[in-house]
Amino acid sequence: MTETNIDIIDRLAGASEGARLEPLRARRPVTKAQAQQSYLALFEPTSVADVSLSERLAVATFVALLHGDAVAAGHYGGLLADAKSGPAIAVAIDTAAKAATARGPYGHFPAGPLSTQAQAGPVYQVAVAEAAILGPRLAAALEHTHLLVFHPRDSSPEALQRLIDAGWSANGIVTLSQLVSFLAFQLRVVSGLRALVAA
């Protein structure tokens, strides 16, 4: 995967709308450059020792599907399908995302003034059929990703321990969290640019 010269946000927001996107993005050149560098750091890293490229693309596809962004899901899912063992994983990710879709955000607050805003929601577990294809590491990653997307207030040491038990290193967990956070940012920017172009 070599996309160093292609700005991913421009592509996802609508490459055919380049003439309308350029002046919008030119207003924040540093933000544009840093967003692209973040994408390259996560998806064209110097090392995949802790998180493989297939795992990164699988998580990205899952996040895009959870956000309902078909274009981004197509981008990441297409790259995943081209990767080693990717086609079967891509199908499993698609099935998993359909079962994991929710509205959110959910979460609990301790007793106090914010406790009235607590909202219970589904806790996602990868189905046995998909877990058999994804393996324990990626299945645990998807469950943690769902937690970060829909239950950010419910993150806990126990949730991190489940990743460790599935074989994730400390560096891998940090990278996984960075992936989910970056995708949330990226997809919101893309959604906003699409709306501005369409206005």
What CATH number does residue 36 fall under? 1.20.1290
Residue with the bigger pLDDT between 23 and 52: it is: 52
Q: Indicate whether 59 pLDDT > 90.
A: yes
Q: What is the mean pLDDT of residues 63-68?
A: 96
Give bridge partners of residue 70 from the DSSP assignment: none
- Domain with 79, as residue range(s), is 10-198
pLDDT at 2: 47
Residue 104 binned pLDDT confidence (cut-offs 50, 70, 90): low
Q: What is the mean pLDDT of the chain?
A: 88
The domain tally of the chain equals 1
CA-CA-CA-CA torsion sign (136, 142, 145, 149): negative
| Phi, psi values for residue 120, rounded to 5° | -75, 150
Residues 31-44 have pLDDT tens digits of 889 999 999 999 99
- Determine, yes or no, domain membership for 49: yes
- Determine, yes or no, domain membership for 35: yes
- Determine, yes or no, domain membership for 5: no
Residue 118 binned pLDDT confidence (cut-offs 50, 70, 90): low
CA pair distance 111, 134, nearest whole angstrom: 38
What number of CA atoms fall less than 13 Å from residue 177's CA on the CB side?
Answer: 12
